[in-house]
Amino acid sequence: MRGGALQRGVPNSAPTRLEQLCPLCQGRSLQVRAAATVRYEVVFDADARDFVVLGEHLEDEGWDASSAAVCRRCGWQGTLELCLLER
């Protein structure tokens, strides 16, 4: 969910109310697995016999409730959806 009910934190901002997420240890944070694709624009330098990167573009695949999640505190593994159902 990009920007939906799941929102990314803003650097240097302090959330005022954190809820427990981990169904095992009640930890308040989880690591979420997400994917991204990087597209490079390249040319081939014949003198150097190598590719030269002219630019790159990051395409965020995002994450949602079905994304894999891990609690670093206790090792619980599941999905975000599962941790919300188990509360």
- The tens-digit pLDDT sequence of the chain (87 residues) is 444 445 555 555 556 677 888 989 999 999 998 888 999 999 999 999 999 999 999 987 888 889 999 999 999 999 989 887 766
Half-sphere exposure of 75 (CA within 13 A, CB side): 0
DSSP character at residue 82 = H
Question: What H or E segment, with its residue span, contains residue 35?
Answer: strand 35-45
